[in-house]
Amino acid sequence: MSKPKPGMLPTGRQSKSTGNMLSKSSSPSIRSITRLGSLSSLPTPSSSSTSTTSSGSFSFGLKKTNNNNGNNQEANATLYTDIAQVRQAMDLFLNSRIPECEAILNPRKDSSLYHSLGHAFVLFLKACMTFQKEDIEAGLEAMKQAYQMADKLRKRDSSWKNLSAWVKSHSVQDIQDMTPLQRHAELVYAETYLLKAMLQIIYDESFVGFLREGLKMRTSHGIYKVLEKYMLHVQSEASLGKDVTEYGLDEHFASGIAFGMGCFNLVLSMLPNIVLKLAEFVGFTGDRDVAMFYFRSVGGWDDMEPDALLRGESPEMQGPEEGLRRQFCDMMLLLYNIVLSKLAPLSHVDEPLADAVLKYNLTLYPDGIFFLYFSGRQLSAKKQLDLAKDQYHRAIAMESSWKQLHHICYWELGLIALLQQDWKLAQEHYKLLNSESNWSKAVYTYVQALSLYMFALDMMPGEKRNQLLVKVNEMMARVTKSKQKIAGKSIFVEKFVARKSRKFDLQGGRLLFPDLEVLNAFSAFELMPMDLARKNLARIDATLVRLQNNNSFYVYDDLCLCHFLKVMLIRMLLPDTPLKEQAALKTAHQASVDAVLTYAPKVQLDHYTYYFTIYEKARMMIINNQWEAAQKEINYLIRCSEKNEFNVGAGARAKNKYSLENSLILKCHNCLEMIAEMQQNVDGDLTDSFTQQVQLDDNNETQQHQKGQQLAVDIPSSSLGSDNHPSTNGGSDKKDDAADSDDEFEDAKED
């Protein structure tokens, strides 16, 4: 995809959120504008204890007034001194020196705007990691204190009585007339108001609370939009060669606007269209081009020539005056390019940029647990699992005051153990998480149970194995009771593991490939190295042979699961397979897709395998450059969800929503974005390719997918016996329609 010139806001397919405020010729970057004047001589931590009122540097961008000019300059001098101290605290925090960070923030959290913000932000992160009620309450109280302090410092006169009037009557001149302290107060108010709303949604656990806090997010977004307009106006003026020092656009202020608007644009751009339309109706906008531009621009990454990153170059190492939110912009780039891009197909992925950003920040923060985590995740994405484990263990060893920071690493170590089929180690990791973390007791309990189950299956029959299986049964029975809700809704992954635990009971204590199934649910399947992929493919092929002579009530569920997993593995293996062997793999891939389409109408519980197989079929079409065909398949899945057309499977429960539907629709939406980007790269079409959508005949398309294609070798009719035949591992299936229907009805009510 073509990139805008250095410093330029993107003007591509979705530039509506920025308008035509910038010249399309050359424009100075936001970073370079903030460094005009004498900003670089603002106080740093080493000089923060000295007298500041005598320094001429603080006159940068101050609005000259006849009244209280000395007081204004002194207040603004104190502002930048405080920011410098909080910048130092954030550097300590990012390098895993949390007690030292808190020692700087806590003494002045009740008297300084930015110390209050820093303190609240640290407690916000802690609350998100622990999910402990007392930590969430402490975070909410700190956020409340911070935004109340910011509110008192905002500009007060007849034209600024309330937010709605302010947003409607705002102008660039209004913001320019503010002092730097008042401008920063607006920014901090928007930040803390947003973070408090996010934390309140977790705390309330009600849909009404979600709507209430959503309105607060809109308030925050409105302030950000006004501040963004001011920042872009300054950039536009600079592009005309005008002196913009009087606007007072310092690095801390600009990095805050860029981070906030970048996050809003990124999150909204990743939502399915049906949700995005509702968000746009109430005033939100989402543009991924703009989000990526803001995140890059704050760190100076957008100022570099395209080939510089490939040569291993980076911007100059930052000094203590660097924008306060700069590292968080860098972390968003890492999150997007290293983590999210492996959870779903995404557009705008820039791996060389991620490499450079990670290297840059590990140089600055060699002991930083966040950057060590990103390093481990990057190694996992490159399928270097043993090296990834080393990084996670190093991160765990670096910080001990917040054990919750360790949990993100233990989670990844647990996934790696599942990938490597080290069942005992996986069980140990998830047991630790189950005892120490409150993120999701249902998920931890289920994955710990399935790890123990797989470990028991590898043992010789005997008393010890039987004892382990009894323990597994006890743990599976606790999964559903451990579910929680956010905004009045169950978490889709928790609903999935609850259904799997119920299926375990219905099948007489049996699950087929629960390790591979849960890796797909957690979007960790793509991390599997090729040798393990081949090993798992052999497992599946051996099981398919056994299933041909099986007459279990849930045999079609097992067959569809096997073929769905096989389809994924073949797609992953294809790029590393010699060209002469690829044709055979593609034939096997199509045969498994056909198998799922054939057996899906007879599936009892795992209806999701049908929809995920259609998605995998589209992924293979993308590999084959069959973009329009892939779009048709993906649009079919989206339409099924939007119109509630769920008629695949046996019995009335086939009409219910399927497991992991929300996850799949998010992937579908972003997959369409990726296809559009690929088409744009090939066609050179900068405008039309992202707006083209293939129009389908709903009835014909639905019939085509539900009908499927018949396999050359079908299941023998003799295998379709009674409902209570033994399962493949000696357990018995329970055809408990009443219990099963009740469970499905419960899920349907929630959905």
Q: Where exactly are the structural domains of the chain?
A: 76-213, 550-750
Segment 272-277 shows an average pLDDT of 75
For the chain, give the number of residues.
751
Q: Is the pLDDT of residue 101 over 70?
A: yes
Q: Please give the model's pTM, rounded to 2 decimal places.
A: 0.82
Confidence at residue 134, expressed as pLDDT on a 0 to 100 scale: 87
Give the DSSP letter of residue 107: G
Q: Give the mean pLDDT of the chain.
A: 81
Choice among 17-21, 146-150, 344-348, 585-589 with the minimum mean pLDDT: 17-21
| C-alpha closest to that of 231 among 254, 252, 251, 250 | 254
Q: Where is 489: in which H helix or E strand?
A: strand 489-490
Token representation of residue 421: 């089929």
Query: Is residue 623 very low, low, confident or very high in pLDDT (cuts 50, 70, 90)?
Result: very high
Query: What percentage of the chain has pLDDT greater than the value 70?
Result: 77
Q: How far is CA 246 from the centre of its chain?
A: 39
Q: Is the pLDDT of residue 60 over 50?
A: no
**CA–CA distance, 451 with 226 (Å, rounded to integer):** 51
Q: Is the pLDDT of residue 698 over 70?
A: no
Q: Is the pLDDT of residue 558 over 50?
A: yes
**CA–CA distance, 262 with 295 (Å, rounded to integer):** 6
Give the DSSP letter of residue 52: -
C-alpha dihedral sign at 196, 200, 201, 207 = negative
3-state SS, residue 558: helix
**CA–CA distance, 542 with 32 (Å, rounded to integer):** 61
Rg of the chain, C-alpha, whole Å: 28
Confidence at residue 494, expressed as pLDDT on a 0 to 100 scale: 93
Let me know: does 667 contact 340? Beta carbons within 8 Å: no
Token representation of residue 224: 């950000």
Helix (DSSP H) and strand (DSSP E) numbers for the chain: 31, 2
Choice among 40-54, 310-324, 422-436 with the minimum mean pLDDT: 40-54
CA–CA distances in Å: residue 347 to residues 288, 341, 675: 9, 8, 8
Q: How would you label 293-306 residue by residue, b for 16+ Cβ within 10 Å and e otherwise?
A: bbbbbbbbbbbbee
Q: How confident is the model over 368-410, as pLDDT tens digits?
A: 999 999 999 999 999 999 999 999 999 999 867 788 889 999 9
Q: Is the pLDDT of residue 88 over 50?
A: yes
Choice among 18-32, 125-139, 341-355, 457-471 with the minimum mean pLDDT: 18-32
User: 307-314 long-range CB contacts below 8 Å, 24 or more apart?
Assistant: 309/352, 309/353, 309/355, 309/356, 310/352, 312/356, 313/356, 314/356, 314/359, 314/360
End-to-end CA distance of the chain: 38
Tell me the sheet residues that pair with 485: 490
Segment 675-691 shows an average pLDDT of 64
Q: Is the pLDDT of residue 542 over 70?
A: yes
Helix axes of 555-573 and 608-623: crossing angle, nearest 10 degrees: 20
